[in-house]
């Protein structure tokens, strides 16, 4: 359960206030571009410090923690892997700073097998397709083993079929490992596909999450304008 | 904040290493009242030769760059790449090459004499200017070519569609914008010219301020006078540096100059012939001296004096030491304030720094004993601004790309550098190291103030051989120096490229 308590972030003239609690296994943040969806994820992950307010994970204040110490693992839009390191090295960094032990190596192999991409440890990210790179990035998040997974539209560059496949895979592993997921999406269909609840981010505030189907059936004015149905 | 302490310490260290000797120079040098007629003459000549060299380089570069901008021919890319070579070419090697072509018994005189042409004498102010044009014409061509390539292709299409005169509507306005900056950069470079004036100039009519510093040291043993001249050179360098910063064009290293634009003008036989002639002239002017060093040096290689080999070994050690020192200083300084601290060094010439260190050290230690360490330090300070300029964009893009991922994985400090930044910076690191090593290998500056009998670097050894008219040995040693300098550059640059994943 992630609780945002009067969390405020300002960047120039832009201001976003979030005072919501996210409980659903998968919550989608929807809204027009530039409304601050990605900014909010970056605040939750600890990359952007909030101007005021608190973020609480299962009742514990995490506002002051550095990114690596948060209960959070994030899939970015791009640069989810170090391009100069092979897949094995990339994934090992999620576990250790030293040479991975044989136990850790089998953990890595297991994670790769789970995302459907076994035996690619020796390859460089550039030798993999976009979809395969997404799978490795997901494996990295699994190895980080944090209870909260954040998705900042990591599959936006993939084709529709591949994107749906990846979203389904995320939903699968998240329920398997009992992870909570918060995802940013500019496409309501993505949200409807895997997120049980959705929160509208628009006009400087984050609305409380409500069931996704209900939201899409009867969108509030700001979302309706964005969807072109208003 | 241990993270911040290292950059701040390094910035203070670098600033101190520049400011300390400069203070010594100013303290010892006295005010402008200490300048005699000879010093004023040196100042006048310095300004005059720099202005003439810069004007000639830019004027000659206009037709050459224009030809390169609108013609395509096999070897065009190679020729443009070669235009970057003078930056790492040891001055003394170029001088020997120019002597072989334009000297008393050089190519031009040998061809010209039977035809009744007047005998060309390279020693004196015209030799100084010739050498400066040799070094800076390629730079001017690259800067102007960049200007040409920055004209959007759509404009050429529009002009062609309207049948508008390209020169008047596109090229002349571009040149008016780019030429002043190119002139300023070359003017500043020529102001600090020492090795060229040392070898080709001299005498009351061709002595630069930097050469006068050297003469005050070597001939008059007058440290006060040397300090006064160094203070003068310092003021000159700072004023010129401030001026150049205001008008300087960006992107002197110009990447992507081998593009070529579709054009619809200049298709007449006359225009083709003119472009061809200018490009041939520039290529010959650049390549003939280098080729003649190679050709003239070969026969002497086998019987080079032993001093040459020991000087070469010293120079190699010096170049590698200076490279290590430069990179060690540069890595913590890859920030905007760090770049400013390092820029201090570029406005102050190596000879001024050398004079300052001499003044500081001479009461404590025999200057000859510290010739190599001081040269290494000054070389590092001189190379530092270039190295930082080369590395900073790479580090910034690495930060932008990998910063969040690294933070998410908890990588910081030395680990972040070892695992992420250094591997990402391999290419620019290799290039920067190659540049520093080649510059240090070929440098003939501070060492001339400090060296005595048995601690000469290879460039100084070549200068001494020339002074004692052992031209055969000098040419062979110049070939060795050329091979070592280019080899160092190539080796480091290559090392940065090999298996470097993007």
Among A67, A80, A97, the residue with its CB nearest the CB of B407 is A67
Stretch among A167-176, B7-16, B334-343, B427-436 having the lowest mean pLDDT? B334-343
Cα A92 to Cα A99, A142, A164, B197, distances in angstroms: 8, 12, 28, 59
Distance from the B404 Cα atom to the nearest Cα atom in chain A, whole angstroms: 7
Among A79, A97, A126, the residue with its CB nearest the CB of B405 is A79
Same domain, B225 and B370: no
- To the nearest whole number, what is the mean pLDDT of chain A? 91
Same domain, B370 and B284: no
pLDDT tens, residue by residue, A112-157: 999 999 999 999 999 999 999 999 999 999 999 899 999 998 998 8
Inter-chain CB proximity A67 and B411 less than 8 Å: no
Distance, in Å, from the CA atom of A108 to the CA atom of A80, rounded to the nearest integer, reads 16
Quick check: is B219 in a domain? yes
Stretch among A176-185, B211-220, B264-273 having the lowest mean pLDDT? B264-273
Residue B444 is predicted with a pLDDT of 92
Inter-chain CB proximity B402 and A124 less than 8 Å: no
Quick check: is B15 in a domain? no
Stretch among A93-107, A176-190, B48-62, B217-231 having the lowest mean pLDDT? B217-231
Percent of chain B with pLDDT over 90: 34
Same domain, B298 and B324: no
pTM beyond cutoff 0.95: no
Interface of A with B in 75-114 (CB under 8 A): 76, 79-85, 93-94, 97
- 8 A C-beta contact, residue B5 and residue B340: no
Same domain, B290 and B398: no
Structure tokens at B465: 């051989």
pLDDT at B255 over 60: no
Interface of B with A in 37-66 (CB under 8 A): none
Name the residue with higher pLDDT: B415 or B341. Answer: B415
What is the band of B249 on the pLDDT scale with cuts at 50, 70, 90? low
pLDDT at B402 over 80: yes
Same domain, B233 and B311: no
Distance, in Å, from the CA atom of B402 to the CA atom of B424, rounded to the nearest integer, reads 10
Name all contacts of A166-172 with Cβ < 8 Å and 24+ positions apart.
A166/A131, A166/A134, A166/A135, A166/A138, A167/A193, A167/A194, A168/A193, A168/A194, A169/A115, A169/A116, A169/A135, A169/A138, A170/A138, A170/A194, A171/A26
Percent of chain A with pLDDT over 70: 99
Taking residues B307-332, report their average pLDDT. 94
Residue B253 is predicted with a pLDDT of 42
Domain boundary among B302, B336, B369: B302
Residue A229 is predicted with a pLDDT of 66
By the 10 Å C-beta count (0-12 exposed, 13-18 middle, 19+ buried), B110 is classed as exposed
Inter-chain CB proximity B402 and A82 less than 8 Å: yes
Taking residues B1-30, report their average pLDDT. 80
Q: Which of B1, B408, B418 to mutate to test the interface with A (most CBs of A within 10 A)?
A: B408
pLDDT at B82 over 90: no
Structure tokens at B46: 């310095």
Taking residues B6-30, report their average pLDDT. 84
pLDDT tens, residue by residue, B33-50: 667 888 888 999 999 999
pLDDT at B323 over 90: yes
Taking residues B109-114, report their average pLDDT. 81
Residue B252 is predicted with a pLDDT of 42
Same domain, B222 and B343: no
Inter-chain CB proximity A47 and B423 less than 8 Å: no
**What's CA B305's distance to the chain center, in Å?**
29
Percent of chain B with pLDDT over 70: 93
What is the band of B10 on the pLDDT scale with cuts at 50, 70, 90? confident
Q: Where are the domains of chain A?
A: 2-71+147-227, 82-145
Stretch among A128-142, A172-186, A189-203, B101-115 having the lowest mean pLDDT? B101-115
Taking residues B369-380, report their average pLDDT. 92
Quick check: is B376 in a domain? yes
Same domain, B359 and B433: yes
Among A67, A97, A124, the residue with its CB nearest the CB of B408 is A67
Same domain, B297 and B310: no
Quick check: is B385 in a domain? yes
Burial B302-335 (b: 16+ CB within 10 A, else e): eebeebbeebbebbbebbbbbbebbbebbbbbbe
- To the nearest whole number, what is the mean pLDDT of chain B? 86
Same domain, B86 and B166: yes
Residue A199 is predicted with a pLDDT of 94
Quick check: is B20 in a domain? no
Domain boundary among B278, B302, B326: B302
Residue B123 is predicted with a pLDDT of 86
What is the band of B306 on the pLDDT scale with cuts at 50, 70, 90? confident
Same domain, B295 and B354: no
Residue B204 is predicted with a pLDDT of 73
Give the domain extent around B371: 304-502
Residue B251 is predicted with a pLDDT of 44
pLDDT tens, residue by residue, B153-177: 788 888 878 877 888 888 888 898 8
Residue B258 is predicted with a pLDDT of 55
Residue B34 is predicted with a pLDDT of 67
pLDDT tens, residue by residue, A2-40: 999 999 999 988 999 999 999 999 999 998 888 899 999
Pairing of strands A21-22, A2-11: antiparallel
**What superfamily does domain A2-71+147-227 belong to in CATH?**
P-loop containing nucleotide triphosphate hydrolases (3.40.50.300)
Element (H, E) at A72: strand A72-75
The three state secondary structure string of B404-430 is: HHHHHCCCCHHHHHHHHHHHHCHHHHH
Q: What is the CATH classification number for the domain harbouring B329?
A: 1.10.3720.10
Number of independent structural domains in chain B: 2
B401 CB near a chain A CB, below 8 Å? yes
Residue A21 is predicted with a pLDDT of 95
Residue B377 is predicted with a pLDDT of 93
Quick check: is B3 in a domain? no
Polymer length of chain A:
230
Distance, in Å, from the CA atom of A20 to the CA atom of B190, rounded to the nearest integer, reads 66
pLDDT at B121 over 90: no
Distance from the B187 Cα atom to the nearest Cα atom in chain A, whole angstroms: 42
Quick check: is B19 in a domain? no
Same domain, B77 and B135: yes
Q: Which of A84, A128, A139 to mutate to test the interface with B (most CBs of B within 10 A)?
A: A84
3-state secondary structure of A148: strand
Taking residues A160-183, report their average pLDDT. 92
pLDDT at B254 over 70: no
Name the residue with higher pLDDT: B499 or B232. Answer: B232
Chain B CB contacts of A79 under 8 Å are 401-402, 404-405
pLDDT at A228 over 80: no
Stretch among A89-98, B38-47, B160-169, B239-248 having the lowest mean pLDDT? B239-248
Quick check: is B14 in a domain? no
Distance from the B499 Cα atom to the nearest Cα atom in chain A, whole angstroms: 10
pLDDT at B464 over 50: yes
Same domain, B472 and B332: yes
Distance from the A218 Cα atom to the nearest Cα atom in chain B, whole angstroms: 37
Among A79, A84, A97, the residue with its CB nearest the CB of B415 is A97
Name the residue with higher pLDDT: A221 or A170. Answer: A170
**ipTM score here?**
0.85
Chain A CB contacts of B424 under 8 Å are 84
Domain boundary among B239, B272, B302: B302
Residue B501 is predicted with a pLDDT of 46
Residue B500 is predicted with a pLDDT of 52
Chain B CB contacts of A67 under 8 Å are 404, 407-408, 410
Q: Hey, how many other C-beta atoms are within 10 angstroms of the C-beta on A62?
A: 18
């Amino acid at each position: 359960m992630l609780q945002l308590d009067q969390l405020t972030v300002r960047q120039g003239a832009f201001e976003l206030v979030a005072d919501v609690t996210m409980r659903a296994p998968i919550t989608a943040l929807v809204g027009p571009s530039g409304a601050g969806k990605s900014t909010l994820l970056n605040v939750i992950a600890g990359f952007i410090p909030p101007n005021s307010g608190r973020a609480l994970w299962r009742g514990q204040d995490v506002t002051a923690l550095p990114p690596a110490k948060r209960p959070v693992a994030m899939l970015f839009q791009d640069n989810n892997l170090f391009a100069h390191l092979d897949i094995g090295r990339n994934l090992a960094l999620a576990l250790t700073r030293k040479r991975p032990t044989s136990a850790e190596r089998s953990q890595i192999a297991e994670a790769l097998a789970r995302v459907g991409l076994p035996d690619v440890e020796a390859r460089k990210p550039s030798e993999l397709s976009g979809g395969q790179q997404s799978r490795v990035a997901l494996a990295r998040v699994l190895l980080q083993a944090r209870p909260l997974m954040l998705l900042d539209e990591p599959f936006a560059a993939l084709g529709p079929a591949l994107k749906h496949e990846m979203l389904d895979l995320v939903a699968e592993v998240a329920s398997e490992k009992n992870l909570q997921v918060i995802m940013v999406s500019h496409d309501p269909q993505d949200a409807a596909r895997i997120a049980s609840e959705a929160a509208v981010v628009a006009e400087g505030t984050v609305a409380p999450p409500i069931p996704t189907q209900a939201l899409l059936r009867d969108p509030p004015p700001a979302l309706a304008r964005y969807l072109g149905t208003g | 904040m241990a993270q911040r302490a290292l950059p701040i310490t390094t910035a203070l260290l670098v600033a101190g290493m520049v400011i300390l000797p400069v203070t010594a120079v100013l303290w010892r040098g006295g005010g402008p009242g200490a300048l005699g007629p000879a010093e004023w003459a040196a100042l006048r000549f310095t300004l005059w030769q720099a202005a003439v060299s810069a004007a000639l380089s830019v004027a000659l570069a206009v037709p050459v760059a224009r030809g390169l901008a609108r013609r395509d021919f096999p070897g065009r890319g190679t020729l443009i790449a070669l235009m970057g070579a003078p930056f790492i070419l040891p001055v003394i090697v170029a001088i020997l090459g120019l002597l072989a072509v334009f000297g008393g018994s050089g190519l031009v005189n040998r061809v010209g004499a039977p035809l009744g042409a007047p005998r060309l004498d390279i020693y004196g102010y015209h030799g100084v200017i010739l050498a400066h044009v040799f070094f800076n014409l390629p730079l001017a061509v690259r800067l102007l070519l960049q200007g040409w390539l920055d004209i959007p292709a759509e404009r050429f299409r529009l002009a062609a569609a309207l049948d508008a005169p390209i020169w008047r509507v596109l090229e002349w306005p571009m040149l008016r914008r780019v030429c002043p900056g190119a002139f300023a950069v070359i003017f500043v470079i020529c102001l600090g010219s020492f090795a060229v004036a040392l070898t080709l100039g001299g005498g009351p009519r061709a002595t630069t301020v930097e050469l006068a510093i050297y003469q005050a040291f070597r001939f008059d043993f007058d440290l006060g006078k040397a300090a006064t001249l160094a203070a003068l050179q310092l003021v000159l360098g700072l004023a010129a540096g401030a001026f150049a910063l205001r008008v300087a064009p960006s992107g002197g290293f110009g990447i992507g100059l081998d593009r070529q634009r579709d054009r619809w003008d200049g298709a007449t036989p006359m225009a083709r012939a003119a472009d061809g002639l200018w490009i041939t002239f520039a290529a010959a002017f650049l390549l003939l001296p280098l080729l003649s060093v190679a050709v003239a040096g070969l026969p002497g290689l086998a019987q080079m004096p032993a001093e040459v080999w020991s000087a070469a070994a010293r120079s190699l050690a010096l170049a590698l030491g200076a490279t290590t020192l430069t990179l060690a200083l540069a890595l913590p300084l890859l920030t905007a304030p760090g770049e400013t601290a390092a820029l201090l060094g570029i406005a102050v010439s190596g000879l001024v720094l050398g004079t300052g260190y001499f003044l500081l050290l001479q009461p404590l230690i025999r200057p000859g004993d510290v010739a190599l360490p001081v040269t290494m330090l000054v070389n590092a300070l001189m190379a530092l601004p270039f190295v930082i300029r080369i590395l900073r964009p790479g580090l910034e893009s690495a930060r932008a790309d990998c910063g969040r991922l690294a933070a998410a994985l908890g990588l910081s400090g030395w680990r972040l550098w070892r695992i992420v930044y250094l591997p990402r910076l391999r290419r620019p690191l290799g290039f920067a190291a190659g540049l520093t090593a080649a510059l240090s290998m070929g440098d003939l500056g501070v060492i001339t103030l400090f060296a005595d009998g048995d601690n000469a670097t290879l460039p100084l050894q070549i200068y001494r051989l020339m002074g004692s008219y052992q031209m055969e040995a000098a040419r062979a040693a110049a070939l060795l120096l050329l091979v070592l300098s280019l080899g160092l550059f190539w080796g480091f640059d290559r090392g940065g490229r090999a298996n470097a994943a993007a």
